[in-house]
Amino acid sequence: MLKPTERPDRRSTINVCSKLENKLAAYFTAATAAGVGVLALAQPAEGKIVYTPADIVIGGHTALDLNHDGVNDFVFYETGWGDWTHLLASGVVASNRILGYVSALRAGVPVGPKGVFSRSGMMATFGHSISNTSVIRGKWANVKNRYLGLQFSINGETHYGWARLTVTVKDGMLATLTGYAYETIPNKRIITGKTSGVDSAEIETNTRQAAVSSVNLGMLARGADALVLWRRDREMLTN
């Protein structure tokens, strides 16, 4: 039992707490550095968009070799039945497909794994009714520099691309292929109209996720006293 004049020696307790705090601080530093490493590595792999300018008038049967490997990937048909002319697009094989049932996309639209694709479809139709009135139908009738979103296979792996066309329908049908492109990384989306560079939206998403991971590692290393601060920073990064 301690005498009234004696005080417990707290030096050992203080030393232990100090050592523990030093270890936690060191772990915090290491964890934060690891988070920075994650952030540096989180950038998406920079693919290469292969773009080909073109000025090809589509007539009859016009094939498109999207990646220049000597194998046709898609085909455009301009066919006539009686007084009617039809413009169609189709994948050459079952794995080659077109986004949104041959939708006439504007520039800036992502084409990738989340899209709904079809094997083929009617782009535009021109003809005359029984009363000899001109009839013009189809998503691609009278559009300039719109895009077909494309999905195709290279060595058994799925790639994405686009084809740009201008279609004029008046007294007849005139369709011109003005350019096409594809992404060299399998399963990586491409943006219609984009001819080089990386997907900025993908970079932002990966960077934000890596930043959250970095905060998680560093703040959790400091223990329960940092829980409130960690939650606040996480909300700031994810909002």
Write the pLDDT tens digit of every residue in 146-184: 999 999 999 999 999 999 999 999 888 999 999 999 999
Q: Is the pLDDT of residue 223 over 70?
A: no
Band (131; pLDDT cuts 50, 70, 90): confident
Token pair 């560093």 is at which residue? 218
Mean pLDDT across 177-203: 87
Beta bridge partners of 154: 157
pLDDT at 37: 42
> Which range among 8-22, 53-67, 125-139, 223-237 shows the weakest confidence by mean pLDDT?
8-22
Residue 224 identity (one-letter amino acid):
A
Q: Identify the pLDDT of residue 14.
A: 41
Beta bridge partners of 136: 126
HSE-up of 205 (CA within 13 Å, CB side)?
Answer: 6
All residues at 6 or more sequence positions from 15 whose CB lies less than 8 Å from its CB, including other chains: none
pLDDT mean across residues, the chain: 79
Nearest to 218 by CA among 28, 38, 25: 28
Report whether pLDDT(19) > 70: no
* Residue pair 64/71 in contact by the 8 Å Cβ criterion: no
The Cα diameter of the chain in Å comes to 119
176 contacts 165 by C-beta, under 8 angstroms: yes
Band of residue 63 on the pLDDT scale cut at 50, 70, 90: very high
d(CA 126, CA 110): 30
- Residue 104, Cα to own-chain centre: how many angstroms? 18
- 21-59 residue pLDDT tens: 565 455 445 444 444 443 333 444 567 999 999 999 999
Taking the C-alpha atoms of residue 201 and residue 55, their distance in angstroms, rounded to an integer, is: 31
Q: What is the CA 159 to chain-centroid distance, rounded?
A: 11
d(CA 147, CA 180): 9
Cβ neighbors of 33 (< 8 A, separation 6 or more) are none
The structure's pTM equals 0.67
